[in-house]
Structure 1
Amino acid sequence: MSPLSTDTIQALSHVHAKPDNIRFQYGTAGFRTLGNILDSVLFRTGILAGLRSKKLDGQTIGVMVTASHNPEADNGVKLVDPYGEMLEASWEIYATKLANAPDLISALEDVIRDADIDLSKPSHVVYARDTRPSGPALVAALEDGLKVLNVDARDAGVTTTPILHYLVRAINTKGTKNSYGEDSEQGYFEKMTNAFKKLVAGRPPRDSLLIDCANGVGAKAAVELSEYLGDSLPITLENTDTTTPGVLNNMCGADFVKTTQKLPPSLANKLKPGQRGCSLDGDADRLMYFYLDERGQFRMLDGDKIATLVGSFIGELVKSAGLEDKIKVGSVQTAYANGASTKYLSERLPVRCVSTGVKHLHHAAENFDVGVYFEANGHGTVLFSPATTDRLREYQPSTPAQQTALEHLINLTLLINQAVGDALSDMLLVEVVLAHKNYTGIEWDSLYSDLPNRLVKVVVADRNAFQTEDAERRLVRPEGLQARIEELAHRYEGGRSFVRPSGTEDVVRVYAEAVIRTQADELAFRVAGLVYDTAGGDPARRPKEFL
């Protein structure tokens, strides 16, 4: 085993000193907080990425510097494992340990020993960032960390998170039977758009799609995408300003649309009634569709709507190809999925509910031959198992209709970014289904009606006092609270409510839905009141809506 360059680490640790009295936590989204306090974290993440690559015999690890849908002042960093998936959960502990270690060298030695890492192995890393002003300085700190282990590093520049995930998978599968594509942005765009053009060939021309780029890195990618698409899909790009301070994700983007359930103000006079529109988030891994009805009222088509559209379409294709006995299509949701979407999907596909978080959804989706997963926030994708991909490649259809359906399925495996949720890939997937069904947003929306719902956040002294089971749909602690929640929910038609602790802050999130909007709101606030009282909140500070 080659020794650590302790002198170099010591010197660079002083340059990238850890702030006092701040504890960093690596979670589902990696590290994420104010960009101006992340310098030491990026330096240490560079070292960790090198160690992860060495542990995996030199396979390329990805590093993405982004805070996604968060405000511009935030930033973050996450590692990407060789197949484009999220960092193995056991290594999240190492990431947190290194980020907070007062004695970095001692912590590194612990990680190297515990993970049994051979420092003589090669290490390869590819990294990228979004358009945040703090990005260049944080990348410089990351690069110093990479130098510590003499990592063979590749700078992918300013690009989307899904493209970085694509590059990681493409690099590591190059020259194998599971080759994911050319390891370049050009390879990404060509693979996706070539499949899209084949899938919509012969279909009536589509009306222009308006894309809200959230004033983020998705704007850059969408411009390139439009060049590759040509006439196959007319698109109009809005909110493409990546240089004016403060505009990133501000009053626009997928998170704004989902949380406020209204049109970004900048699109007020640009989206025509009936026209399809969609919003990306700041790093282009979330997607939210919408339209204005004939009265000019805003209508949102979120991740649940995307899952139902896509899942049922793929299920139909599998049946049309004569493969329903050989390929099992299933959908994965969390407790936040609207009950109406769950009912719609359950009548067509097996549906599984898992705990909140992309890593849980992705893992569960891998248990199906074709696994469809989308969070309500618009993050999701479709996974085709390797065995399914082989089966599609080898299958001999017996009719022209089966042949056509088979070709569509094969092209879908190329169109969909299976490494991670990808707003641009998902957008083209939605457009394919709409083209095949000849749907506008109106017909898509009418497949089922969402149950009115409300999400309320309750500040508590200790979120760890709240423990859940059954994919976070039932509370087991504090004792007795679940029964009181169920008793309340039964008072409302279609009433459903669950409570779960936040994974990142001392708050508890309360979700409620019912057939009538006012009842959904009332149920949410009544359950929030129960939580507030149970957590020992100050009655004088009890929000009015709880009363």
Structure 2
Amino acid sequence: MSKDLFGTDGVRGRANSWPMTAELALKLGTAAGRYFRRDAQDHRVVIGKDTRLSGYMIEYALTAGFASTGMNVFLLGPVPTPAVGYLTHSLRADVGVMISASHNPAEDNGIKLFGPDGFKLSDQAEAGIEKLMRDGVTLAAPENIGRATRFEDARGRYVEYAKTTFPSGLRLDGLKVVVDCANGAAYRTAPAVLWELGAEVVAIGVDPNGRNINSECGSTHPNAAANKVLETGAHLGICLDGDADRLVLVDEKGRIADGDQIMGLIATRWAREGRLQGNALVATVMSNLGLERHLADQGIELKRTSVGDRYVVETMRADGHNLGGEQSGHIVMTDYATTGDGLIGALQFLASMVETGQSASDLARVFNPVPQSLINVRFADGQAPLETDAVQQAIADGEKQLGSNGRLLIRKSGTEPLIRVMGECTDEALLKSVLEKVVNAVKSATA
């Protein structure tokens, strides 16, 4: 079955415009409710959200849709995406929902679905839900309509679980940590976990107003945390995104470490401890060539997937690996979580700091990255710039010029109307020249 509605990470768009309307959310909740109903009488769905103003509208529409099929709805309020995955499984729910557009601006929103095992849905499941949306479903009888309940303990349960992923017997005493919660879903949970483990916490991005999520803060704007680290003399800065499934770190010198560096550290550490299942790290085609070379030197394989943490997780589960992620900061550790978890990833880094006594700057520079550049080109609805002969020829010419010294990756974004033009090369001047030609070709095709 084909998919038209779901992208690489659920359904996403501008709030109050198709597909992110209350009407669509109602239909999606109804179809997903019917798709996931099992034979047991007590059918459950958990719904979490980030701090966007439009979350209220979508939450209530989804609730109505699920309840109309006999699902009992547990409303979690603002919680990180990984908390939804965890609580879906913990509460024995049939399905979990996270209302969030992740790192996107406040004007956007999205709907992510989790199966009863706490993992994001497969393409097959999403296609099945879309079919039900097209065909229609039979609603529950009046006496079988579901109830909606506010689940008041959601944040507390996640806080307690997150702390269990930090090595027993270790504490963060003596460490000053800046945590930037992007005015998003982790604005209460992340500072609480760090403080309860003993850190001196400097929290920023913890004043959500419905409109300021990811605005000049969080993992997409790490300079806010970098400035605060330098201002306060902190040992580490932790930058989360709006739904806290991404992580970017800042060392004590204000230097930024992306997901590749963090994954490189954890993979090397776990391999040394005999914990890296299959002796491999799963990452996407976006991860830096320098990471691949570093891991090869350590005898660790890098397995690449399509862009999107769900594809990383699918490969991890299929091949039996327990560590994967994306350069953008999704760090997936299936020993602890079913999806990317920025806070738990940060705790792994902090554990290394405590165990080794090394500074963040010593630990965060695991490999020397090959020069990499990413340029986004926006296109309008109905355009298909990558299919034009001129763009294809520019890409072919660029790949020939780079040869074995680099690579090109040109793709359409799965979450925004953008063509992402990425290249890597040991020769930065050559890289700049090649990318400029490809970008110009793409821009001409969108003019």
TM-score range with shorter-chain normalisation? 0.7 to 0.9
SS at match of 1:360: helix
Query: Contact 1:330 / 1:368 at 8 angstroms: preserved in 2?
Result: no
Given the alignment, which residue of 36, 44, 62 partners 1:142? 62
The amino acid of 2:228's aligned partner reads: L
SS at match of 1:256: coil
Residue correspondence of structure 1 range 117-516 to structure 2 within 5 A: 123-172=43-92, 184-198=154-168, 200=170, 205-226=173-194, 228-229=196-197, 231=198, 233-243=199-209, 246-257=211-222, 262-263=223-224, 267=228, 270-272=231-233, 275-291=235-251, 293=253, 298-318=254-274, 327-348=277-298, 349-383=300-334, 413=335, 416-417=336-337, 419-459=338-378, 466=386, 480-490=393-403, 494-504=405-415, 507-515=418-426
Deviation digits for residues 215-251 of structure 1, max 9, x if unmatched? Answer: 112111124324542x2x33321121123x5322110
Of 328-337 and 433-442, the range deviating more from structure 2: 433-442
Query: Contact 1:331 / 1:351 at 8 angstroms: preserved in 2?
Result: yes
Deviation digits for residues 473-507 of structure 1, max 9, x if unmatched? Answer: xx9997655531222324xx943222122335554
Pair 345,527 (structure 1): closer, same or farther in 2 beyond 3 Å: same
Give the drift of 1:313: 0.7
Between the aligned partners of 2:389 and 2:232, the Cα distance in structure 1 is 47
Pair 452,284 (structure 1): closer, same or farther in 2 beyond 3 Å: same
Query: Contact 1:190 / 1:228 at 8 angstroms: preserved in 2?
Result: no
Given the alignment, which residue of 23, 27, 32 partners 1:49? 32
Between the aligned partners of 1:184 and 1:441, the Cα distance in structure 2 is 31
Pair 192,217 (structure 1): closer, same or farther in 2 beyond 3 Å: closer
Pair 358,481 (structure 1): closer, same or farther in 2 beyond 3 Å: same
Query: Contact 1:49 / 1:125 at 8 angstroms: preserved in 2?
Result: no
Of 446-455 and 163-172, the range deviating more from structure 2: 446-455
Of 335-344 and 369-378, the range deviating more from structure 2: 369-378
Between the aligned partners of 1:57 and 1:35, the Cα distance in structure 2 is 35
Given the alignment, which residue of 10, 13, 26 partners 1:30? 10
Deviation digits for residues 193-228 of structure 1, max 9, x if unmatched? Answer: 134251626xx8452111011111211112432454
Of 137-146 and 508-517, the range deviating more from structure 2: 508-517
Pair 485,168 (structure 1): closer, same or farther in 2 beyond 3 Å: same
Deviation digits for residues 74-121 of structure 1, max 9, x if unmatched? Answer: xxxxxxxxxxxxxxxxxxxxxxxxxxxxxxxxxxxxxxxxxxxxxxx7
Query: Contact 1:333 / 1:375 at 8 angstroms: preserved in 2?
Result: yes
Any unmatched runs of 5+ in structure 1? 1-22, 59-120, 384-412, 468-474, 539-547
Query: Contact 1:160 / 1:217 at 8 angstroms: preserved in 2?
Result: yes
The amino acid of 2:220's aligned partner reads: D
Pair 332,211 (structure 1): closer, same or farther in 2 beyond 3 Å: same
The amino acid of 2:13's aligned partner reads: T
Query: Residue 436 of structure 2 aligns with which residue?
Result: 525
The amino acid of 1:487's aligned partner reads: K
Query: Contact 2:265 / 2:364 at 8 angstroms: preserved in 1?
Result: no
Query: Contact 2:8 / 2:415 at 8 angstroms: preserved in 1?
Result: no
Pair 128,184 (structure 1): closer, same or farther in 2 beyond 3 Å: closer
SS at match of 2:273: helix
Any unmatched runs of 5+ in structure 2? 95-115, 119-152
SS at match of 1:284: coil
Between the aligned partners of 2:237 and 2:268, the Cα distance in structure 1 is 22
Between the aligned partners of 1:354 and 1:195, the Cα distance in structure 2 is 27
Given the alignment, which residue of 35, 40, 44 partners 2:23? 40
Structure with bigger RCO (C-alpha 8 Å, 6+ apart)? 2
Between the aligned partners of 2:343 and 2:53, the Cα distance in structure 1 is 23
Query: Contact 1:216 / 1:248 at 8 angstroms: preserved in 2?
Result: yes
The amino acid of 1:527's aligned partner reads: V
TM-score (norm 1): 0.63
The amino acid of 1:523's aligned partner reads: V
Give the drift of 1:355: 0.9
TM-score (norm 2): 0.76
SS at match of 2:215: coil
Query: Identity rate of aligned residues, in percent?
Result: 22
Pair 250,345 (structure 1): closer, same or farther in 2 beyond 3 Å: same
Mark the structure with the bigger radius of gyration.
1
SS at match of 1:449: coil
